[in-house]
Amino acid sequence: MSEVIPDSWRPALEPVLAKPEARKLGGWLRAEEEAGKAIFPPRGERLAALEMTPLDSVRVVILGQDPYHGPGQAHGLSFSVREGVKLPPSLRNIYQEIESDLGVKPPANGDLTRWATQGVLLLNNTLTVESGQAGSHAGRGWDAITDACVAAVVEQGLPTVFILWGSHAQKKAGRVRGLGASNNHLIIKSPHPSPLSAHRGFFGSKPFSQANAFLESHGRGHIAW
């Protein structure tokens, strides 16, 4: 692993990163890059979600599956693309639900940094992907690292909202011991915002108003979605 672990996440991640599986992941990623394969996001951005959202500031967790696999799209935050990049279909649907749920017109760009800096952890399950090959880095060792991130959020005990879109995110959350066992947390589940499933219950699920109502009722403010 060539990425620098942010200080607030280090105690949670160091035990996992010390294991052979994590070292194997790092070696495999280096070999893939040395073989000339394009890996997204680039080095230095793979832990952007942790850098932008320190552990003790996490108020909402949104779990994605793996980064966007098109050039110039992924920059380390689930569902997010930088300003100037065309909105992916799932993000367009997320914005549509925000407008329906809150009556707020979302911005034209897809950079969700503004969420991350407010305490929304935009974490993918797998933090890298090969160009043009969705899911290509699944099962390579990222799961243990991102599971440790979710577990750290749960275990610190602060009232937190977990927004779980689709079966993949719901299964991941279910693997983390204790999630949902505490009244400190709100778990919001719905179908994924992908065009393939958004009309099966994502639209109209109102996750953003639910999240803010919970946060405000627990003295943690609200997110300016």
pTM score of the predicted model: 0.94
Indicate whether 178 pLDDT > 70.
no
Across residues 96-125, what is the average pLDDT? Answer: 96
Q: Please give the C-alpha separations between residue 20 and each of 10, 17, 140, in angstroms, as whole numbers.
A: 17, 8, 12
**Residue pLDDT, tens place only, 113-132:** 999 999 999 999 999 999 99
Question: What span, in angstroms and rounded, lies between the C-alpha atoms of 218 and 159?
Answer: 7
Point out the catalytic residue in the list 7, 66, 143, 147.
66
Catalytic, 66? Answer yes
pLDDT of 182 reads 62
